[in-house]
Amino acid sequence: MIKDKFAPIIIAVDGPAAAGKGTLSRRLAHFYDLAYLDTGSLYRAVGWSVLNAGGNPRNADEATEAAKNLDMSGIESHDIRTAEIGRAASIVAAIPSVRAALLDFQRNFAKHPPHFHEGKVRGAVLDGRDIGTVVCPDATVKLFIIADLEERAKRRWQELTARDAGLPLEQVVEDLRRRDARDSGRDTAPLTPSSDAEILDTSKLSIEEVVARSIRMVDRKLGIGSSPGETA
């Protein structure tokens, strides 16, 4: 395929919940001058809207209506990073018409990243579950970030206990286990690495190591900084 050299650089970052995608994506966006879209926040916002209206996230009509009318500016002041909203997000994300309603927005962000045409950014980083497989199958670079369930649960627990001090670690482990099963087991756009994705296991790595390894992977794909014969 002939790639347009003036097209935005797109980095797709996929992986299970709490694997470290958000932190890595923000760091990559900063490093390479890219816009950033946390696509999980769209599904979280849909989950929040349904719950806020007293609805049921399993109700496909209610969830689809919320996705079609999504207004992220109205959500900003609300805390959508709670365990309850994460659960609702994972439930609405399994509904095909919800995914369809959010697809154009994500593709449009990748095709026309904010401030790209003014030359302020060179492209975009999108993180989620299906960026490399469905949203941006032609992404310049695809990273698939994984980590052991226990390690992810510990990281998420540390984040969540800042809001809910009494939250038991076991509950977070169980919650993530269910979320993994739902995100990977759904029929539409399940969580799975694209065949051309670079897989990075962050279980035993610090965030600095994850960022450094990812930058090496991205540089290699972009054809920068690699000397002949370099392998890692």
By CB under 6 A, name the binding residues for ligand DC.
Answer: 17, 39-40, 43-44, 86, 89-90, 93, 128-130, 179, 183
Least distance between ligand DC and beta carbon 126 (Å): 8
CA dihedral (14, 112, 36, 224) positive or negative: positive
**Residue 226 Cβ vs ligand DC, minimum distance, rounded to whole Å:** 30
Q: How far is the CB of 219 from ligand DC (least distance, A)?
A: 25
Residue closer to ligand DC (CB basis): 184 or 226: 184
Q: Report how far residue 68's alpha carbon sits from residue 111's, in angstroms, rounded to the nearest whole number.
A: 20
Nearer to ligand DC, 59 or 105 (CB): 105
Minimum gap (Å) between residue 127 Cβ and ligand DC: 7
Tokens of 66: 């919320």
Residue closer to ligand DC (CB basis): 16 or 123: 16
Separation CA 121–CA 43 (nearest Å)? 25
Beta bridge partners of 142: 12
Closer to ligand DC at the Cβ: 150 or 230?
150
Please give the C-alpha separations between residue 174 and each of 84, 90, 150, in angstroms, as whole numbers: 13, 14, 10
C-beta separation of 45 from 75 below 8 A: yes
Residue 194's identity, in one-letter code, is S
* Cβ neighbourhood burial of 115 (10 Å; 0-12, 13-18, 19+): exposed
- Least distance in angstroms from the C-beta of 209 to ligand DC: 21
Q: Which is nearer to ligand DC, 72 or 224 (CB)?
A: 72
